Amino acid sequence: MTLETYSPPVNQLLTFGDCFKIKNDTNYLKKFGFTAEHIPELIRMAVDEELNWADSESLEVWAPVHAWRSLGQLRAEAAIDPLISLFDEIEDIDWTSSEMPPVFKQIGPAAIPSLSAYLDKPGPDESHLEIAGSSLTEIGTEYPETREECVKILTKKLATFEENPPILNGFLVSNLIDLDAVESASLIQSAFAVDCVDEFVVGDWDEVQFLLGLGPRKPRQNIYQSEIEQSIMEFLKNRNDARDQPAKGFSSSIKKTSQKKSKKKKRK
């Protein structure tokens, strides 16, 4: 049924295959002969709810991703807002976070205003906002003339660090590092000073200074290991009888710390 709703050559994407096996450097324009006239139908496929929520074992579920890639290669500015609308709707955030930034890089600077508006939008969680931030970073890197604008947008969002989730601040700092945003260093330091940056995303302030080229890398204790050690010390301090099932209490303490921290690690 879905096959019949799309015309050739766009309908070929419905059976093209698994994106784990078909990489995003595939030349869709050459392979399928896509031109500007196919943009409206590719946009329709990109946001097709039936396809985006299709059976995960089917080939059709991959068709929107192929459409995203094709629209990027066509530099389809008409696709900017429809693609951004997917940030909040697609359940599998890993695919949008890995596929969308390269697509917006290809579309180019025309996407900056809409991405900036999304970053300022109330409501999206940090994982969705990360996609917008990474897309701006890709554009600012690919088009040097837009770097300053992208840095300003990301810095403006980081300026609300006390209101943002720490993990979002970590993503924003990571974006700014990728853009060599030395001009934002003072603000970044302020965010670290009040413990508003998730260090599991980007490291501590000393590490950020090094990555920005502002100083040598300083030896630092592994944060994850440090907290495990703290958990061990607390267990040893509080146990009532060192000889009664010590292994059980020890492993439970370690597991609890490990689970807590694993949830905060950056995806990808």
pLDDT, tens only, 107-153: 999 999 999 999 999 888 899 999 999 999 999 999 999 999 999 99
Residues 67 and 92 in one domain: no
Residues 232 and 263 in one domain: yes
Q: What is the pLDDT of residue 254?
A: 33
Q: 266 pLDDT exceeds 60?
A: no
Give the tens place of pLDDT for each residue, 43-93. 999 999 999 989 989 999 999 999 999 999 999 999 999 999 999 887 666
Give the tens place of pLDDT for each residue, 90-112. 766 678 889 999 999 999 999 99
The answer to whether position 83 is within a domain reads no
**Number of domains composing the chain:** 3
> Shortest CA distance to 174 belongs to which of 212, 147, 140?
212
Q: What is the pLDDT of residue 122?
A: 87
Q: How far apart are the first and last CA of the chain?
A: 34
Domain housing 22: 1-74
Tell me the residue type at 52: N
Q: Are 166 and 141 in contact, with CB atoms under 8 Å apart?
A: no
The answer to whether position 64 is within a domain reads yes
The answer to whether position 81 is within a domain reads no
Name the band, by pLDDT with cuts 50, 70 and 90, for residue 238: low
The answer to whether position 82 is within a domain reads no
Structure tokens at 213: 């080229």
Residues 184 and 266 in one domain: no
Residues 92 and 194 in one domain: yes
Q: Are 266 and 98 in contact, with CB atoms under 8 Å apart?
A: no
Taking the complete model, does pTM exceed 0.85, yes or no? no
> What is the C-alpha separation between 134 and 172, in angstroms, rounded?
8
- The last residue of one of the domains, among 17, 40, 74, is 74
Angle CA 143–148–149, to nearest 5: 85
Residues 214 and 231 in one domain: no
The answer to whether position 192 is within a domain reads yes
Structure tokens at 38: 């196919």
